[in-house]
Structure 1
Amino acid sequence: MKRLIYYLLLGLLVVSCEKDDSQSSADRNVVSEDGSIPFEELLILVNIKTTDSTYLVVKSVDSVSIYINNYYWTQINSQTLDTSKVDKQLVGNKYITDNKINYLIIANQDIEQPDYNTAGEFAQYLNAAYELKPGEYACLIESFQITFNDNSTKTYYPFEYTTFKVEQNLRSAFVGEIEIKID
């Protein structure tokens, strides 16, 4: 009889501890009234093609200026690549290769955060945020900078547009692969 009561109590304890959690782990990480996930970043692949149909080999593409629907989004560097493992040829002060190399850019919106001394400063901060709601957008790569082997730098202005789509409740959007031609 004691065993039966013991097993019943143990069963009740297990049943009472199991809780139907209707929220996924992603929903628990977001604090909002409507349960939506805030949009945070753009993912872009950039490759740089030279005039002789080869691709430029650099560690990173620097100071990439990105605009979304003519609103400034950010100026950021691509992720760094280990170029020692790339089959490349030296031409002048730069390396080139016949194989396409994609440089990954993870672009969060660049908003300066004031010290919030007044309500006006906080309102200015909120107004600077350009919220991307679900829909179609145009991404402009206005400019970027390349550092060559002799540590000289050159800024390019490709003004390259591409379109992308923001989906409901996604944290990021893949803009696509952008091929930029340089001389």
Structure 2
Amino acid sequence: MKLLTVFAFICATVFLIVGTFAVLHGVYGSPVPSPAPEPSPDADPKPKADPEPEPEPSPDPEPLPEPAPEPLPEPAPEPLPEPLPEPAPSPVAEPSPNPVAEPNPNPSPVASPMMPQPMLLSDKLDANFVALSASPDPAPAPAPAPAPAPAPAPFPAPLPAPSAVALEPMGYPGSLDDLVPDSIAEALPN
């Protein structure tokens, strides 16, 4: 029995590990291989030959005259951008800055003055802000109406008078000691 418990524990552990790997692999994909560390030149046992060996300095080098630096050419000034052309007047009538309303000679049912203008989101936010800031102390809510008093419950019918009946414990005729053996010796068959 102990061997079966150990086997079940090992199987559950392996199942948990494999299941966790499968879930993580499904979510994140395969792991990215880490880049191999670059070998350092000091640890290389075989030094490579330089393709271009450095010339050794001569014991008495002759000083070379340094060339004079050439003056840098001045950058050419960038041409100024061309001015933008004036926009052509649009055939759509623009609202005039005059606040006095002018009568429209061609009224259309679509642009009727009776139709409400669509409210912009900023207007809604401003209206909400004004409504909230206009009443800092809200009016108290009315008190709830008192609940009606419950009707008195009717009295239950009286129970019949008890009869004189002797009840045996648990419906078994005799003592409870007869149900349970006193010792193992009593429980064994003769």
Q: TM-score range by the shorter chain?
A: under 0.3
Structure with a larger share of its residues in strand? 1
TM-score (ref. length: structure 1) = 0.16
Q: Which has the higher contact order (CA 8 A, sep 6+)?
A: 1
